[in-house]
Structure 1
Amino acid sequence: MSADQAPPIHGGRATVALALTVVLGTALLLWAAEWLARAGAESVLARAVQEQTGVLERPAVQVHGSPVLLQALRGRYDDVEVDSGTVSSGPVRLRAVEAELSAVYLSFHDLLDGNTDEVFVERSVERALLTHDDLDRYLRFTSRRLAAEPAGEEQLRLTGTVDTSGGVREVSALAEVAPEAGALLVRPTQLDTPAALDGLEELLLRQRFTFPVPLDPLLFEEGDVDVAVQPDGLAIRVSGSGVVLGS
């Protein structure tokens, strides 16, 4: 082969280098767009959750699944996790508050705007813990001189003093905990006192040992609520569907 017919080695290398540059540049742009879409969605959703609950600290939000960019373009996020930590509303304090949201709708326009008025959530599961110490704190705030401790898987034991028509009584009671209208309702099933009670005293004591604990700190307190008595407190699980943040 003559010198005039030699293959264009340098030209081929330049073409390969250009192709690699284009590929790397495209990959970098896609990575940046993916990162921006994820960060933007998490920021907007965290703000929406904060406004819904009224908590002072913005919760941690993670958008799972990939590519997030495609989820952002279609305005629907498959799996979102919210970690609010410890939240309070008045005398009620809940710990380990977490929520798993499925099919979260946030328009691409709102994502670009960095703000939204409404976020539609197809399904949600929220979990929280009301420790026995925090329940005691709530009882003190509501002027009940009582202390709570677990008494099996489904009941609490409440002990303390209660004012009755016959004077101050030392009382211990077994109480069940059940969800009712966006709250946990604590209701006595058995009263134990050193002395016998007359009918009126027993009625007053049962009323005193019956009280609601609002679930206002939760994101979705109006869903289907399950509660279990654990050694460290009341484990709360709230599930819902078709809910709107910001409505």
Structure 2
Amino acid sequence: MRKLIVGVVALLAIALVADFGTAAYSEYRVSRALRDGGELTADPEVTIHGFPFLTQAARGDYSRVEIRAQDVPTEYVNKTTIEATLRGVRIPASDLVDGSVRTVPVDRLDGRVRIEATDLGQFLDIPDLQVSAPPADKSDGTGGSGGSGKTTTGAVVLSGTVSVGPLNTAVSVTAELQLDGDKVNIVASDFYFGPEGEADFTIPDILKPTVLGLFTKTIDRQQLPFGITPTSVYAEGGEIVIEGTGTGITIDLESIRTP
């Protein structure tokens, strides 16, 4: 009986190693196809979810695949992170093995572009820029500043050091993130003196439009992975996130990002 148990455990261990090894190889093949096709500077992270992997591979049907590529340059922002969550993915096992996979039917694709505060600051020419979501609105029943309710989608607090007259001064502003097709408009509307801000003084009214203009700019042509159209933009964890969703589509691994 002991030998039988040991034998079963050994077989299970071999099966697990084979399953994880095959999954890792398949993730590598997809990653290389994405890098070569998208002219990326490094292999993107690819994770094929679901266990056992070999069962999914035999069917050629995968429940969820995550893709993440960092330090992807654009014409307007030096570095971005692009992410894609693919659900209901169909790839024949033979295409994964020989590396010939190019077009992939998916039931649903959630795509995101993340812009960190440092890179957004370079775009705005505010090197020490910080990004945070504003406190909950008073109308949500949480009492406004310091509350735990939902924030307004697209609202953001931007803080950084800018020139105010002859001085370099820390300023915080409230801004709206607005989608206009594939463009993102950053529109500063007022100064901010709440807990997420850094400014502790009143800017002279005569300088207000000029200072707000330093935080106002348009990021052109923010295309999501595989050409998905952006549908929302918001602040999350000190980043600007632009995202969109596509359903019932076929993606081309050579066009994770389009020029």
**Of the candidates 218, 222, 231, which is equivalent to residue 225 of structure 1?**
231
Q: Which residue of 1 aligns with 2:63?
A: 78
How much does 1:39 deviate?
Answer: 2.2
Shift of 1:68: 1.1
Cα 1:24–1:155 change in 2 (3 A) is closer
Q: After superposition, give the CA deviation of every residue in 1:150-187 in whole Å (9 maximum; x if it has no partner).
A: 583514558857xxxxxxxxxx9754212233332224
Whole-angstrom distance in 2 between the partners of 1:33 and 1:196: 66
| Alpha-carbon offset, residue 69 of structure 1 | 1.1
1:148, 1:137 → 2: CA distance?
11
* Aligned match of 1:234: 240
The one-character-per-residue Cα deviations of 1:127-148 (angstroms, maximum 9, x if unpaired) are 45322321121234xxx99967
Moved more, 112-121 or 228-237: 228-237
Tell me the SS of whatever aligns to 1:89: coil
Whole-angstrom CA distance in 1 between matches of 2:38 and 2:185: 21
> Whole-Å Cα distance in 1 between the matches of residues 207 and 18 of structure 2?
73
Letter in 2 for 1:180: D
Aligned: 1:48 with 2:33:
yes
Give me the whole-angstrom Cα distance separating, in 2, the residues matched to 1:145 and 1:85.
Answer: 20
Mapped pair 1:94 → 2:64: no
Residues 165-244 of structure 1 mapped to structure 2, 5 A cutoff: 175-187=175-187, 189=189, 194-195=205-206, 209-216=216-223, 218-220=224-226, 222-230=228-236, 232-241=238-247, 242-244=249-251
Report the structure, 1 or 2, having the larger strand content.
Answer: 1
CA contact (8 A) 1:173 1:188 kept: yes
Q: Which residue of 1 aligns with 2:109?
A: 124
Q: CA 1:184–1:49 in structure 2 vs 1: closer, same or farther (change >3 Å)?
A: farther
Q: What is the RMSD of the two structures over their aligned residues, measured on CA atoms? A: 4.4
Change (3 A) 1:145 1:31: closer
Q: Distance in 1 between matches of 2:181 and 2:42?
A: 27
Q: Aligned partners of 2:105 and 2:92: how far apart in 1?
A: 10
1:66 and 2:51 aligned: yes
Q: 1:151 to 1:101 in 2, by over 3 A?
A: closer
Q: Deviations over 1:34-93 (max 9, x none)?
A: 244312321122123324543211012121212211211221111212232443224422
Letter in 1 for 2:184: L
Q: Which residues of structure 1 form unaligned runs of 5+? A: 1-12, 162-171
| SS of the residue 1:119 aligns to | strand
Is residue 102–residue 121 contact of structure 1 (8 Å, CA) maintained in 2?
Answer: yes
- Give the Cα–Cα distance (whole angstroms) in 1 for the partners of residues 17 and 236 of structure 2: 45
TM-score (norm 2): 0.61
Distance in 2 (CA, whole Å) between partners of 1:175 and 1:245 is: 36
Aligned to 2:166: none
Note the alpha carbon deviations across 1:4-43, whole angstroms, 9 max, x for none: xxxxxxxxx9xx98x8999688657644542443123211
8 Å Cα contact 1:158-1:175 kept in structure 2: no
Q: Which residue of 2 aligns with 1:166?
A: none
Residue 119 of structure 2 corresponds to 134
Secondary structure at the counterpart of residue 225 of structure 2: coil
**CA pair 213-33 structure 1, distance change in 2 beyond 3 A:** same
Matched position secondary structure for 1:240: strand
Please tell me whether the aligned partners of residues 186 and 216 of structure 2 are also in contact (alpha carbons under 8 angstroms). yes
